[in-house]
Amino acid sequence: MKRSLLICLLAAGCCLSSGCGGGAKNQGGDKASNTANANGGNAATRPAKADVDFAREAVEGLFGGDVAVAYAFDWENLKVPGVADAGEAYQEMPDDENREGFRKEFIEEFSGSFKQSGASVGDLKNWREESREGERTIVAVDTATGKTMRVSVVRRDGRQLVSELSID
């Protein structure tokens, strides 16, 4: 778990310079079904949302520390600024218990860094679809520092998932 904590801190630290940060919004369902089988075949089936709405709720939940949004991320392939390959680190977890701990710790540490910076999810403006190609949509949002954060939403096995966050 120490490795996962380090990854979380690196990811959160890298994003702090973007000027965005935290409020929570739960997409519904109970926390057990939302987090229990992230990336698994038994995850609760949810109606599809517009990709912009899905990305916004996932990112706001992440920044707010809402572990109930764990189902929204493609943990096995996740890429975030400052972490060479968060998905690879997740895949190295030896069992479901450790993977669940990784998800929870990642969200809590990521959120904690944003909250400490004094940033707010209200700093994120102009959520929009930037591009769509096949099963991947890029959602863009402007930050208070004038940078653009991009959120990749993919469809895998009929599910919407956030697979990457980036800042330019």
First-to-last alpha carbon distance for the chain, in angstroms, is: 30
What pTM value is reported for the model? 0.74
Least Cα distance to 130 among 121, 141, 122, 144 occurs for: 141
- Structure confidence at residue 138 (pLDDT): 98
> What is the torsional sign of CA 147, 52, 34, 60?
positive
Residue 93 φ/ψ region, left for φ over 0, alpha for ψ in the -120 to 50 degree band, beta for the rest: beta
| Domains present along the chain, CATH in parentheses | 2-167 (3.10.450.50)
Least Cα distance to 103 among 68, 155, 79 occurs for: 68
Instruction: Give, for all 168 residues of the chain, the pLDDT tens digit.
Output: 444 443 443 444 444 334 443 333 333 333 333 334 444 443 445 557 899 999 999 999 999 999 999 999 999 999 988 666 789 999 999 999 999 999 999 999 888 887 887 778 888 999 999 999 999 999 999 988 899 999 999 999 989 999 999 988
